[in-house]
Amino acid sequence: MLLSAIYLIDGLPFLKKIVESTFLFSYVLKPALWVCLALIVLYFAKVKPVGKLRFKSYLNSLAFVCAVSYILLMIMGGFLDGFGKSPYSFTPFAIIMNVILVGSTLGGQELARAYLINNLSAKRPFLIISIVSLFFTFINITTAQLLQFKSLSEVAKLAGQNIFPLFSENLLTSYFAYLGGPVTALIYKGTLQAYQWFCPILPNLGWMSKTFLGTFVPFISLIIVQNLYLYESREVKRHSRDKESTLGWILTSVAAVVIVWFAVGLFPIYPQVIATGSMEPLIKPGDVVLAKKIKGQEAKLGDIIHFRHLENKIYIVHRVVDVKTEKGKGQLFQTQGDNNSSADSKLVEPQQIKGKVIQVIPKIGWPTLYLRSEGDPNTDNVEI
């Protein structure tokens, strides 16, 4: 209840207006709330991790190694995607304020996490770890982030960039809290947060890299940590079923990430929801078409292509009704919707073409049309 209250306070805009100062809200009120939560847990609750006391330093070392390995992999990703300047200030005063903010948040969260897991996980530890991890995932995503998306692709990117990586990271953190208590979880999460907040140069990872590294690295680390601990504590046989549960987590996360990548077009075949009736009766509004990525020059007469209209900045699915050659421009494509009265006024250049429709799946795109909050597209010069 206290964690939920802090999340709601952080997300309520009218409270920020009452405080009238972003500095007071972020660097005084929020740290005070997290410190109060930490003190309540320390005073009223007893946190007894499952891991044996003699393995405490071993678990702490594993947590630090996992965090450093994750950071090194992100740096390697930076060599592919590039680096950028940190968005945080590095003046002495700013560093002190950020230490207060990050330190209080981490302390409150990890003490609460360890308390919840180790007091509720007696019978079904991995179920409780999963639920607590999911809870901490969403309290670390602002309400503004959850409400800002306007299309299916933005939802997918939010899941790929934020929700999946956060859940994966929280799952490993929760497992550390389960075995070693709040200190072990703090070592892992604190090392990552220290790098993100206090390193002046950070990897400028694309969302695809963020999704891959953020989701799979913590899961792989979880498997390694679990096996190392069980081997070290000679509990491999007793926990064989728990291993199967962890394998289930991995398979689920892999499937989820693959679905997200497919939805936003990272594979050779990608989906597209149809919003208009220009291709009826073959393709109706609410249908989903599967398109195969092609080079523009590969399009042929009669193909249904998915292309971007240069003037209107929208994507269109129409049929190629003629192929023309213009001097200086090469091959151009005349398109028309099957249900339209005339051909599109602008010829399509090869670089505008994204893919060719290969399959139509009826009606499954209706939920997307209902959720869409964008205004009507600009349809000048083309019937869609």
The answer to whether 290 and 364 have CB atoms below 8 angstroms apart is no
Please give the pLDDT value at position 21. 60
With a pLDDT cut of 90, the percent of the chain lying above it is 29
Number of Cβ within 10 Å of residue 79's Cβ equals 9
Please give the pLDDT value at position 68. 93
The answer to whether 86 and 199 have CB atoms below 8 angstroms apart is yes
More confident residue, 383 or 204: 204
Question: pLDDT tens digit string along 113-148?
Answer: 999 998 887 778 888 898 999 899 888 776 555 555
Q: Does 201 lie in the same domain as 312?
A: no
Number of Cβ within 10 Å of residue 32's Cβ equals 11
337-355: average pLDDT = 90
More confident residue, 255 or 124: 124
The answer to whether 64 and 190 have CB atoms below 8 angstroms apart is no
Nearest Cα to Cα of residue 304 among 326, 336, 330: 336
Q: Three-class SS of residue 176?
A: helix
Residues with Cβ within 8 Å of residue 60, at least 6 apart in sequence: 180, 183, 184, 187
Nearest Cα to Cα of residue 193 among 212, 173, 167: 173
Residue 29 has pLDDT above 80, yes or no: yes
26-47: average pLDDT = 85
Q: Does 165 lie in the same domain as 40?
A: yes
Identify the band that residue 89 occupies on the pLDDT scale cut at 50, 70 and 90.
Answer: confident
Is 266 exposed, middle or buried (CB count within 10 Å of its CB: 0-12, 13-18, 19+)? Answer: middle
User: Is residue 356, in this structure, part of any structural domain at all?
Assistant: yes
The pTM (predicted TM-score) of the whole model is: 0.62
Q: Does 152 lie in the same domain as 9?
A: yes
Single residue among 216, 237, 263 that ends a domain in this structure: 263
Residue 61 has pLDDT above 60, yes or no: yes
More confident residue, 267 or 344: 344
Q: Does 140 lie in the same domain as 37?
A: yes
DSSP states along 113-169 = HHHHHHHH-SS-HHHHHHHHHHHHHHHTS-HHHHH---SHHHHHHHIIIIIHHHHHH
Residue 1 has pLDDT above 70, yes or no: yes
Q: Does 198 lie in the same domain as 53?
A: yes
User: Is residue 379, in this structure, part of any structural domain at all?
Assistant: no
Distance separating alpha carbons of residues 362 and 95, to the nearest angstrom: 55
Residue 381 has pLDDT above 80, yes or no: no
In this structure, of 84-88, 123-127, 184-188, 344-348, the range with the lowest mean pLDDT score is 123-127
Distance separating alpha carbons of residues 194 and 104, to the nearest angstrom: 13
User: Is residue 376, in this structure, part of any structural domain at all?
Assistant: no
User: Is residue 383, in this structure, part of any structural domain at all?
Assistant: no
CATH code: domain of residue 321: 2.10.109.10
Residue 72 has pLDDT above 80, yes or no: yes
Single residue among 263, 286, 312 that ends a domain in this structure: 263
Identify the band that residue 304 occupies on the pLDDT scale cut at 50, 70 and 90.
Answer: very high
Write out the residue range of the structural domain in which residue 325 sits.
269-371
Residue 244 has pLDDT above 50, yes or no: no
Q: How many domains does the chain have?
A: 2
User: Is residue 381, in this structure, part of any structural domain at all?
Assistant: no
Total residues found in the chain within this entry: 384
More confident residue, 87 or 368: 87
Mean pLDDT of the chain: 80
Residue 46: what residue type? K
Q: Does 168 lie in the same domain as 225?
A: yes
User: Is residue 110, in this structure, part of any structural domain at all?
Assistant: yes
With a pLDDT cut of 70, the percent of the chain lying above it is 78
Q: Does 127 lie in the same domain as 40?
A: yes
Nearest Cα to Cα of residue 198 among 62, 26, 71, 37: 71
Please give the pLDDT value at position 373. 47
Residue 265 has pLDDT above 70, yes or no: no
Q: Does 60 lie in the same domain as 178?
A: yes
Q: Does 287 lie in the same domain as 238?
A: no
Single residue among 263, 293, 308 that ends a domain in this structure: 263
User: Is residue 377, in this structure, part of any structural domain at all?
Assistant: no
Identify the band that residue 329 occupies on the pLDDT scale cut at 50, 70 and 90.
Answer: confident
Residues with Cβ within 8 Å of residue 38, at least 6 apart in sequence: 104, 107, 108, 111, 112
The answer to whether 111 and 182 have CB atoms below 8 angstroms apart is yes
Distance separating alpha carbons of residues 120 and 135, to the nearest angstrom: 14
More confident residue, 149 or 81: 81
Question: pLDDT tens digit string along 141-193?
Answer: 765 555 555 555 566 666 666 788 888 899 999 999 999 999 999 999 999 99
User: Is residue 312, in this structure, part of any structural domain at all?
Assistant: yes
Distance separating alpha carbons of residues 171 and 180, to the nearest angstrom: 14
Q: Does 240 lie in the same domain as 285?
A: no
Q: Does 158 lie in the same domain as 24?
A: yes
Output the 3-class SS for 286-313.
CCEEEEEECCHHHCCCCCEEEEEECCCC
Q: Does 128 lie in the same domain as 71?
A: yes
